[in-house]
Chain A
Amino acid sequence: MPDQVGLELIAGQLASKIPGAVRQTTFFRGRGSVEIEPATVRGVLASLRADHGYRALMSVHGVDYYPQEPRLGVHYELLDMERVDRLTVKLRVALAEPRVESVTPDWPTADHQEREIYDMFGVQFDGHPDLRRILMPEDYEGHPQRRDFPIGGEPVLFTHNDATGPGWTR
């Protein structure tokens, strides 16, 4: 894992290469992560691959930071197989304008994963070859994994609430 100093080095080089890209770096439990400006995601990932040897993108996943303001987050887990080194690149996007540039053209593995983030959180990925719902049915409204989406499911039928029961147990 890039230790504290290594992380700052990488962040410094990134900031110099792409002005205004790096917002903050956190070093937590021995794992480094860099939060970047959403617009510069392709540039940052490309430079991390070229200059720092992170050649494999392992996982792209979405997070809903509900109470905090820029609500929808997208995380990119990068991996360097030679030095067995992992780095997380995070970006935060507001709910009102959830547009992020898709990295599928240069990282083919992000194809289905970005579709899942769009399906579950509603983050639009521009430039994605075929951005559609992947897990939910095509005509499903709403993005289920947002924290304000109700969990749904049936109310568990006890004697006290069976009057309002769905009726299919009759």
Chain B
Amino acid sequence: MSTRSRYRAQEESITLSPLEEQIAAQRGGETTELLTLNIGPHHPATHGVLRLLVTLEGEIVRELKPIVGYVHTGIEKTAEQKAYWKVIPVIERMDYLSYYFNAMAFCGAVETLLECEVPKRAQYLRVIHLELNRIMSHLVWLGTSALDLGAISMFWYCFRERETILDLFEFSSGQRMHTRYFQVGGVMEDIPAGFEAKLREFIAIMPGRADQYADLLRRNEILLQRLRGVCPLDEETLLGLGVTGPLLRAAGNPWDLRKAAPYTSYEDFEFKIPVGTVGDNYDRFAVRLAEIYESVKIIEQALDGLPEGPHITEDRKIALPPRHELATSMEALIHHFKLVTEGFRVPPGEIYYPIESPRGELGCFIRSDGSSKPARVHMRDPSFVNLQATAPMVRGAYIADLIATLAMLDPILGGIDR
């Protein structure tokens, strides 16, 4: 290894070099050959372009350093150039598996700044779409993680359900992913006529399908060997690392923003928070699988209690007037023109609006300077913070356990790199 690139030498010099002596001391003087390897940006098991600089002693991972930034898109900088309601499509492409949550965090923050009251029906519609998106995100996680652990057929089952959910999204908003269905002040359009029937159909079959996944995986000896008792992390270190979401709930701390600080009328629904005990990979797996059932319950209650009324705020300063009104009333035309050209102005101030995304607390920080463009938009992404927990989890484990832990961590690189 004569011509070591400056970058790699610098990478290793930071925390890794004393490692060999440490291990030698542990092992009573017998120094071993440590291999530094890249489980790099292009790797089937890293769920995106995550690069892990791993120091291995044979099969055992001694040190792990996640290196991110390979899909950094400068979304927060782009958001500063656009009007408030134009930022939503850019924000949705951040954590590309839970796009409704990004839009919800952003719209929630702007509505708090504007002190705009979202009508009850819009809140219920938001909850329905948020929970559908949570199920879809858990399904993609289940499909790809089972793929990593060898249960290939799970991928096709999970994506079968995902297609049904995407049909519902397409039915209500016209687009499968990044639907831009949430508008500041409510939702873009009311749900079409057949949506409720299709959604009831989906609610009827989903628990049965989730049971099928559970039967396939819960007593599967290979999966149990790979997950049970592997890479546990106690609640104290998780809290110190700022980890939230299913990872923290698997370790026993029932912290869920939907129950702790309810937003968009989550307080009207009756649902439980699945909590693990040991905090190992199997608990993380079981917590997410149980959350699918809870989400179905929430959707059912939201659908039953769906109130009548407007689907977006009546305040014409924020929401576009309906098209037919433009032909008749002059004010609607003026409001429409003002909103479409410059967009609404937001009173100056700073707000941090956290919500519960499928991976943890997703907080949207907005600083507005009174103009119609946000001065600063920052998304506190759960995967970005949870990624820091991989190193303590994986030290001393095998490479195969590293792959399983990464699958159970469910990082989304779009959210990490923003």
Contacts and interface: CB of A to CB of B under 8 A. Distances in A.
A169 B100 CA distance: 35
A61 B376 CA distance: 10
A61 B240 contact: no
A61 B255 CA distance: 22
B385 A112 contact: yes
Interface string B238-273: 011111100000000101000011000000000000
Interface string A100-132: 000000011111110010001000000001100
Interface in B206-242: 237, 239-242
Interface stretch (A4-12, A38-46, A133-141, A154-162): A133-141
Given A138-B7, A145-B76, A109 B385 contact: yes
Interface stretch (B195-203, B286-294, B347-355): B347-355
Nearest to B387: A112
B363 A108 contact: no
A28 B349 contact: yes
Interface stretch (B77-85, B117-125, B174-182, B400-408): B77-85
B380 interface: yes
Q: How large is the interface on A (under 10, 10 to 19, 20 to 34, 35 or more residues)?
A: 35 or more
B417 A135 contact: yes
Interface stretch (B66-74, B185-193, B297-305): B66-74
B380 A58 contact: yes
B80 A147 contact: yes
B351 A130 contact: no
Contact of A56 (B15, B115, B242, B261): B242
Interface in A18-33: 28-29, 31, 33
B352 A135 contact: no
Q: How large is the interface on B (under 10, 10 to 19, 20 to 34, 35 or more residues)?
A: 35 or more
Contacts, number: 104
B129 interface: no
Interface string B69-105: 1001010111011000000000000000000000000
Contacts of A58: 242, 244, 354, 361, 363, 380
A55 interface: yes
A144 B76 CA distance: 10
B361 to A, nearest CB: 6
A62 B418 CA distance: 14
A77 B350 contact: no
A5 to B, nearest CB: 20
Interface string A79-117: 001001010100000000000000000011111110010
A57 interface: yes
A151 B78 CA distance: 7
A63 interface: yes
B169 interface: no
Contacts of B378: 59, 61-63
A37 interface: no
B373 to A, nearest CB: 11
Interface in B359-392: 361, 363, 365, 367, 375-376, 378, 380, 384-385, 387-388
Nearest to B242: A109
A55 B378 CA distance: 22
A31 B7 contact: no
Given A86-B352, A136-B72, 7 more contacts: A28-B349, A56-B239, A64-B376, A77-B380, A109-B241, A111-B388, A130-B15
Interface of B: 7, 14-15, 68-69, 72, 74, 76-78, 80-81, 112-113, 115, 237, 239-244, 253, 255, 260-261, 349-352, 354, 361, 363, 365, 367, 375-376, 378, 380, 384-385, 387-388, 417-418
20 contacts: A29-B115, A29-B351, A57-B242, A58-B244, A59-B365, A59-B378, A59-B385, A61-B378, A63-B367, A75-B350, A107-B242, A109-B388, A116-B384, A134-B68, A135-B418, A144-B74, A144-B77, A145-B76, A147-B375, A151-B78
What are the 8 tightest A-B residue pairs by CB atom distance, in nearest-first order?
A: A109-B242, A59-B380, A135-B69, A135-B72, A61-B378, A84-B260, A63-B376, A108-B240
